[in-house]
Structure 1
Amino acid sequence: MAGFSQAAEAQTVRSALNQGADSSFARDRNISVRQRPREGYEAIGVPLGAFMAYPKLSLTAEHNDNIYATSTGEIDDMIWRVQPEVNITSNWSRHLLSAYGRATINRFQDFDSEDTEDYALGAAGRLDVLRSATVSAGVDWAQLTEPRTSSSSPIASESPIQYDLTSASLAGVREFNRLKLSARYDYRKYDYEDGRTAGGVVVEQDDRDRDVQAITARADYAVSPATALFLELSKNWREYDLAPPAVTLTRDSEGVQALVGANFELGALTRGEIGVGYISQEFDDPAFNDIDGLGARAQVEWFPTQLTTVTLTGSRTVEDSGIVGSSGYLSTNVGAQVDHELMRNVILTGQVAYGNDDYEGIDREDDRLTAGLSGTYLLNRHVGVTVGYSYFDQDSAGAGGGQDFKVNKVGATLTLQF
């Protein structure tokens, strides 16, 4: 819920800012509305020796006017959602160890074939080797549900597609006065469950099971206390479990990304990072053309006042496709979000985003427009209420089987925390 963050999250933000106070790469002259601690409205937590536990429970009632994300014959329903979670974090002066567990249980009032249960567990740690050097690692496991609005979601399946996602990461950072060097390794494993039609026919999804590995190296150089230039290089490997003759075409690939850009803080008004460069994904199967072009990543925060944060984001990446005949797609996304602290315990949020997915291997191009409004009222440190509206509009061109559809959602969430 916007504005109702755990005390653990606020503690992490403060810790990160304090550690960077004498760094050439600190960007801490402002704290965004979402990150700002709110005295009297933060969770107390449960002491567990050298750790603190922060339990939370969210209860949501939501109306969706197009639960199957179809272009015609839209069907609406009421969804009841329960989300329990607990975050555990160390309270040490150095190093950090944290863990979490959460679940999302959806129950549809009229169409129980859409009912889902998602779960996630994870842990992360940071070792402060030196004042200017850290090593961090994390591992996560989740059982997730692919939303009906996803382009990869098969229309024929009676129930939404579920999948397991296992991920792990290892990273290191070292500062040498004006120079900062960092490296990171990421691993993700996707394991999809087959769907079934209303008649019991299997909707095969095993061809989407894959392992994704990525190595990233980056160098930042501070040209001033408020600006650093960076060069980031990354390499990825995407290996699918099934290969011919089990599937007609293999979607195994290797990719690279090279970005140059700046990380900055212009006075107390603006901070962020902008990078542009080149991306390329080369596929092992000669039937698929390589995907390459301009790569980009950006996030800029603007603070017109201490009570308002405007966040602009953008990206251009190559993503895997779950559509038969398509190797992947070039995804371009831009977005804007405004968070306003109307009162210390009243947070208003508005957001809008646009995305374009250009597919390789099939004649299809999707344009997406999303927007939303929400407001959060914090009654006290234990209870908060959020009401919101969201809009999703997809326009699909070409003969590749995409649909045009719109989805409107309106809902209210009660959050309880300790």
Structure 2
Amino acid sequence: MKTCIKISLFAGVFCYTTHGTASSEIYLENGVVVKPLLNVVSKYDDNIYQQASDKQGDSILIVTPSIGLVFDDGLNQYKLDLGLSSGSYGKNSDDNYLDTEANLSAHFEPSNKHRFDLLASAFSQSEPRGTGVTEGTGSALPEPLTYKKHILGGKYEFGAMSSFTRIAFEAQSENKKYDNFRSISKYRDTSSIKFGSSLFYKMDSETDLFLDLSREDIKYDQIEDNTISRDSKDNRALLGVQWEMTSMTTGLAKLGYQNKSFVGSSRENFSGLSWEAQIQWQPLTYTNITFETSRAAKDPTTEGDYVNQSLYALNWNHNWNEKLRSSIGASFTTDVYTGIYRKDEILTGSFSISYLIQRWLEIGVFIEIKDNDSTTEIMSFDKNLAGLNFNISM
């Protein structure tokens, strides 16, 4: 575990992000633009089940074709994204998976005072063994869990962008249901519905103050025997600012209060500080540095009432020339569990460099690390990844 930390400090490692090729766009007669892309990753993971001991490593080939259909008239945009991801393990073929997703979104403005955003998403995903519901149990199950998730959302904003005040209303529903190993997974089937509103006040041409109010009702379909309901209500009130002070600096930050209360009276409620911030600094056209931080109480995937999670992440992307670019970054997350005695400190990082061989082909190499230091011994682990990344456009 200490080796991973030394590597990350020595290399100055930060969060890995994939750079895509300049995708060729196919223009249809009706104004629709087609954007096909193929991503192929070949990597080696030295701890595929995220275990504290008896680690198992394996090579993984991930093939991800996708296609995007976009209609954009400069004001309104309608977009459909379709993709699938096939993962094949070299030795542990039981972990092979095939994930699919579809996203349909729309943005339209009938006038300069009215704006609408709609979203519909459907996912069929796998949950690698040793993560999510099987966290800490490694390869106890014979194959990964799979689940389906559906999201529907909408937002309406009133007020001209040049006016001093604007107001927005939004709603979103989400459903998640596991497909297999129902004896354990059925207790993590969830549904939620969220309502929110935001009031914006323009301080100047580049800066807005805003107030975010939201409420989310989270329900679990079934309650495990001899346990208490996990159903909860999450209320937040955050005061924020978003800005683009210069062409070099943009950002959004909001800070406020969160209250997460459970239906089961024996579970401990949360009331306290919550925040979100994303800041980007671009001192030169070919380099940018981003910083992200957040804090919120969230539902755990296994035990406990809630997890009070704090995140800090830094990333540097640099284009050395028109063909060569790199990314280096790191994040530090602290998860403090309530209802059980557990605290995790998670250091992640990576370095990547990619080269654009042709307009349609980009090749990259990357290194990723993760070090999870937990007060619960079986949750402490480290893992290292290294691989090749290919982005191919039509």
**Higher alpha-carbon deviation: 203-212 or 143-152:** 143-152
1:142 corresponds to? 123
Gap regions ≥5 residues in structure 2: 1-16
Specify the SS of the correspondent of 2:302. Answer: coil
Tell me if the contact between 1:138 and 1:168 (Cα under 8 Å) persists in the aligned partners: yes
Tell me if the contact between 1:4 and 1:378 (Cα under 8 Å) persists in the aligned partners: no
Residues in 2 aligned to 1:383 and 1:287: alpha-carbon distance in whole angstroms: 56
Residues in 2 aligned to 1:146 and 1:314: alpha-carbon distance in whole angstroms: 26
2:156 corresponds to? 172
Residue 137 of structure 1 deviates from its aligned partner by 0.5
Specify the SS of the correspondent of 1:369. Answer: strand
2:309 corresponds to? 331
Residues 160-239 of structure 1 aligned to structure 2 (within 5 Å): 160-176=144-160, 177-195=163-181, 204-239=184-219
Specify the SS of the correspondent of 2:187. Answer: helix
Residue 248 of structure 1 deviates from its aligned partner by 2.6
Q: Which one of the candidate residues 312, 319, 334 is aligned to 2:291?
A: 312
Partner amino acid, structure 2, of 1:159: E
Residues 39-50 of structure 1 aligned to structure 2 (within 5 Å): 41-47=22-28, 49-50=30-31
Specify whether residues 386 and 407 from structure 1 end up closer, same or farther in structure 2 by C-alpha distance, changes over 3 A only: same
Residue 54 of structure 1 deviates from its aligned partner by 1.0
TM-score (norm 1): 0.85
Residues 1-400 of structure 1 aligned to structure 2 (within 5 Å): 2-4=18-20, 41-47=22-28, 49-148=30-129, 150=131, 152-154=133-135, 155=137, 156-176=140-160, 177-195=163-181, 204-243=184-223, 248-324=227-303, 326-398=304-376
Specify the SS of the correspondent of 2:28. Answer: strand
Aligned residues: 373
Residue 136 of structure 1 deviates from its aligned partner by 1.2
**Higher alpha-carbon deviation: 130-139 or 403-412:** 130-139
Instruction: State percent identity of aligned pairs.
Output: 20
What is the root-mean-square deviation in Å for CA atoms of aligned residues? Answer: 1.8
Partner amino acid, structure 1, of 2:355: Y
Q: Bigger relative contact order, structure 1 or 2, given CA contacts below 8 A and separation 6+?
A: 2
Specify whether residues 287 and 66 from structure 1 end up closer, same or farther in structure 2 by C-alpha distance, changes over 3 A only: same
After superposition, the C-alpha distances for 1:241-287 in whole angstroms (9 at most, x for unaligned) are: 1147x563210010111111211222233110111111111000011
After superposition, the C-alpha distances for 1:102-130 in whole angstroms (9 at most, x for unaligned) are: 11110001011111111101211112121
Tell me if the contact between 1:366 and 1:402 (Cα under 8 Å) persists in the aligned partners: no
Partner amino acid, structure 2, of 1:181: I
**Higher alpha-carbon deviation: 60-69 or 158-167:** 158-167
2:10 corresponds to? none
After superposition, the C-alpha distances for 1:17-59 in whole angstroms (9 at most, x for unaligned) are: xxxxxxxxxxxxxxxxxxxxxxxx4423252622111111112
Residue 387 of structure 1 deviates from its aligned partner by 1.3
Specify whether residues 64 and 46 from structure 1 end up closer, same or farther in structure 2 by C-alpha distance, changes over 3 A only: farther
TM-score (norm 2): 0.90
